[in-house]
Structures are given as structure tokens and as C-alpha cells.
């Protein structure tokens, strides 16, 4: 039976039960449990330092009202990074290659920022739909364009994360297949291709972390407009 390159993105099943739930809950089991003394473990110390640096950078542009989102955004970034990194291991499934999951994360959080803006400062929130100094004939057109761009935001969040991870996984699988095909025929070319595969894997590790950071950073920017 011919196996498609896109079969790796299909949600696995066991006895008719989708295993995506296990793939989503497993990352939380890998985080170290903080002991009674926080600084007696180097891993805990490094993790705490990285989280503090991330929170300081993320919350700096926001006012005090937006600081309530610090725990949610930090947990989301750690969750996405862990899922993306685990998805690079062999014989694993990456839930964030599913557009439905990414939209399930993006739409509620984006909608929450919009609702907060409409509740706390409706004039400012609606003012984003019409730039200041717009000529009168262009007002209806710009309102429609800005409204469409507002509703496209969660779609762009989900599609960006899905497309980047899917493209990386496909490239890794294609180059790995080329290595196995070329190995008995042209070992030298296969070795060079394997070197390219190694460099691409390092790049995908960086992409996995960067895309999780970009996802959370864009959510913080949307929150900044509404608080």
C-alpha cells in the first residue's frame, strides 16, 4: 500500500479512540515538580529564570490590567514549545499540525481580548476600525477592510503555526527518504544529504520554539490594543 507523506499528520487511533488527548496531556507530565526549596535544583532554577525573563519581556508593553494574563500566556507558550519539540521525535504525533487545534486555541483567546476591549473601553476599541484623519468618502470602505482584518487575526494565528510546522515536518521526511534511497546507490551524496538533514533538524528545533513565542507574542499585542 502506498503511504502518503501527509499520513504523519493524521490523528492516531487506538481501538477507535483518538490518541490526541494523550498527546496533549503528556507534556504537562514532563515539567519538573518544584521542591520545597526552589533553588536546590539546577533545572528548576534555569526554568524559573527563563520564565521570569519571558514574563518581563511579554508584560513590559502592557499596563497593570494586562498583567492578569501573565500566567495564561506563559503556560500557553510552555505548552506549545513542549508539544512542538516532542513532535520532532521519531514515531510521534504533533497536535499543533492540526489546524482545528490551533484555531481552538487562537479563536477563544482572540475573542477574549476583543470582549475585554469592548467592555472596558468601547470607544477606543471601535476607534481601531477607522484611522484618524480618514477622508469621508473612504470611511465605509476602511471600516469594512479593518473589520475583515480584525476577524482574520485568529485565522492567521492558527494557519501560521500549522503551516510552519507542517512544512518543516514534510521537509524532514522528504530529505530523510532521499537519504535512504541514495545510500546504496551514491553513499557520498547520501552523506551530504544526511548533513543537510541534521542542519534542517536544528532549524526545526528553532522554528518550534520561535513559532510558539510568536503565537503568544501576537496574542499579547492584540491584548495591548484592548487594555
**Full pLDDT tens readout for the chain, 227 residues:** 345 666 666 777 777 777 777 777 777 777 766 666 655 667 777 878 888 888 888 888 888 778 888 888 888 988 899 889 888 888 788 888 888 889 999 999 999 999 988 888 888 877 777 777 778 887 888 888 888 988 999 999 999 999 999 988 889 988 988 898 888 888 899 899 999 999 999 999 999 999 999 999 999 988 888 87
Handedness of CA 49, 54, 59, 60 (dihedral sign): positive
pLDDT (0 to 100) of residue 2: 42
Half-sphere exposure of 92 (CA within 13 A, CB side): 19
DSSP SS3 for 208: helix
Percent of the chain with pLDDT over 90: 26
Round to whole Å and give the CA distance between 50 and 86: 19
Contact 61, 225 (CB under 8 A): no
Residue 58 burial (C-beta neighbours within 10 Å; 0-12, 13-18, 19+):
buried
93 closest CA partner among 172, 30, 31, 24: 24
Counting every residue written for the chain, the total comes to 227
Phi first, then psi, for residue 47 (nearest 5°) are: -60, -45
Largest CA distance in the chain: 70
What is the structure's pLDDT at 92? Answer: 80
Question: Measured between alpha carbons, how far is 25 from 71 in angstroms, rounded to an integer?
Answer: 18
Chain-centre distance of CA 206, in angstroms? Answer: 12
pLDDT at res. 7: 65
d(CA 47, CA 38): 11
* CA geometry: angle 69, 70, 74, nearest 5 deg: 115
What spatial distance separates the first Cα and last Cα of the chain, rounded to whole Å?
55
Distance (Å, whole) CA 197 – CA 194: 5
Res 1: pLDDT:
36
Strands (E), the chain: 13-14, 17-18
Amino acid at each position: 500500500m502506498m503511504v502518503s507523506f501527509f499520513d504523519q499528520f493524521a490523528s492516531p487511533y487506538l481501538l477507535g479512540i483518538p490518541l490526541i488527548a494523550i498527546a496533549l496531556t503528556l507534556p504537562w507530565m514532563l515539567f519538573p515538580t518544584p521542591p520545597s526549596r526552589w533553588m536546590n535544583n539546577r533545572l528548576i532554577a534555569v526554568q524559573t529564570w527563563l520564565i521570569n525573563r519571558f514574563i518581563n519581556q511579554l508584560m513590559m508593553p502592557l499596563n497593570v490590567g494586562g498583567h492578569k494574563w501573565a500566567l495564561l500566556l506563559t503556560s500557553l507558550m510552555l505548552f506549545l514549545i513542549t508539544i512542538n519539540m516532542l513532535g520532532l521525535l521519531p514515531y510521534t504525533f504533533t497536535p499543533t499540525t492540526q489546524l482545528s487545534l490551533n484555531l481552538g486555541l487562537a479563536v477563544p483567546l482572540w475573542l477574549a481580548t476583543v470582549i475585554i476591549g469592548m467592555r472596558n473601553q468601547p470607544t477606543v476599541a471601535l476607534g481601531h476600525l477607522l484611522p484618524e484623519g480618514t477622508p469621508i468618502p473612504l470611511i465605509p470602505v476602511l471600516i469594512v477592510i479593518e473589520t475583515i482584518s480584525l476577524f482574520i487575526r485568529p485565522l492567521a494565528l492558527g494557519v501560521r503555526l500549522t503551516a510552519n510546522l507542517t512544512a518543516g515536518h514534510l521537509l524532514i521526511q522528504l530529505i530523510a527518504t532521499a537519504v535512504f534511497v541514495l545510500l546504496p546507490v551514491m553513499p557520498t551524496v547520501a552523506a551530504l544529504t544526511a548533513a543537510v538533514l541534521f542542519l534542517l533538524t536544528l532549524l526545526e528545533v528553532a522554528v518550534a520554539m520561535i513559532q510558539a513565542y510568536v503565537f503568544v507574542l501576537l496574542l499579547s499585542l492584540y491584548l495591548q490594543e484592548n487594555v
